[in-house]
Amino acid sequence: MAELKPVEAALAALLDGVVATAAEELAVESAAGRVLAEAVIARLDVPGFDNSAMDGYALNHRDAGQWLPVSQRIAAGTPAVPLAPGSCARIFTGGELPPGADCVVMQERVEVDADRARMPEGLPAGDNVRRRGRDVRAGASLLPAGERLEAAALGHLAGQGITEVMVRRRPRVALLSTGDEIVDPGRPLAPGQLYNSNRPMLKRLLERFGAEVVWAASVPDSREATLDMLRQAAERAEVVITTGGVSVGEEDHVKDALQTLGRLDLWRLAIRPGKPLALGRLPRPDGREAHFVGLPGNPVSGFVGAWLFLRPLMGALLACPALDALPRLAARADFATTTGPRRHYMRVALAFGEQGIVARAFRDQNSAVLSSCVGADALAVVPAETRIEPGDRVDCLWLGGD
């Protein structure tokens, strides 16, 4: 019987020698969720000029406490002219601060009489002014390589007038479902058959992790069919993922086929759920190797395995540090459990309150109960040979960060 390996050994084997995907140029408007392949340097100061933070009146702070003539009106997008000495300017949020003015007073604090306005006392220079370059300076680093382009980052790029960026090509993934008992939704079920819940679940998770599923197929329970499908998968993709077929049953052909075509780096982990997980490499026609991950067939095992292994693999292929490891939170358990020789990843919902974070475990933690994953926003990590009582501290891996 093969020795059960820890998660850390599996990750080391999985990520050994990973080379990031090539870069490609993409329009910013189509780059949401993609990963920058190159750092972006700011071209412009943001804001590009001193401007007002609110609707009000621009003046020189030395003229505070006086009645001042209103010498100009400055709306956002309207160029300002130098401020006449001893006057003020009616200005609106985002309007350019006129030369000669150094502060803005909000309109609610100003008394107005026709074309004159009385300023309050004691206005400091710089009050209510957004200075040029306050957010970004031209020539500074705008976004680093490895940044995922989510909403704020896309806005950052747009604020520089940037229309195209270099991003990592999405890793191409082949997703194979094994087992004659697995049927795609839409077809009638025969006795003893199940609908394929793994494929849509894993496809969505892989897309969330930045991958592109280029081929999804079902593999009949035969050695010859498994060999053929693995060959085809390695031709089409740089990552091959299977579900099921990696245990020790007579109809589990994936492990043997992997060893025949390529190499098995690691098999069987000291975790629950997901013990029968296989990692290895498959040869590709271009002389390179495809990364192979054989997930167990039980859907909860596939769900947990995706977060623990597929996510960091995609992170390495995309050179994206944010995908290296799941955020870890300390919580108080609201459950009791005892582990055996394997580390347990329990599906929990986190409750945030004044007394801290509480991890609420789903009652049925069986690896076939996918409903425990639907409402889970974290995995509580319970070490091997450990007893947890309600109120004990438990480390949780947060699943809500992607």
Residue-level pLDDT at 128: 98
Q: Give the separation between CA 89 and CA 82, rounded to whole angstroms.
A: 10
Residue-level pLDDT at 402: 67
- pTM exceeds 0.85 for this model: yes
From the first residue on, what is the mean pLDDT of each consecutive set of 10 residues in the chain (402 residues)?
85 95 98 98 98 98 98 96 98 98 98 97 97 98 98 97 98 95 91 94 97 96 94 97 78 87 93 93 95 95 97 98 95 96 96 94 92 95 97 96 68
* Burial (Cβ within 10 Å: 0-12, 13-18, ≥19) of residue 26: middle
Residues with Cβ within 8 Å of residue 269, at least 6 apart in sequence: 4, 5, 6, 7, 10, 275, 277, 342
Beta strand 343-353 with 356-361: parallel, antiparallel or unpaired?
Answer: antiparallel
Residues with Cβ within 8 Å of residue 158, at least 6 apart in sequence: 28
Residue-level pLDDT at 15: 96
Residue of 342, 389, 340 lying closest to 361 (CA atoms): 389
Residue-level pLDDT at 140: 97
Q: Are 343 and 272 in contact (CB under 8 A)?
A: yes
Q: Are 289 and 281 in contact (CB under 8 A)?
A: yes
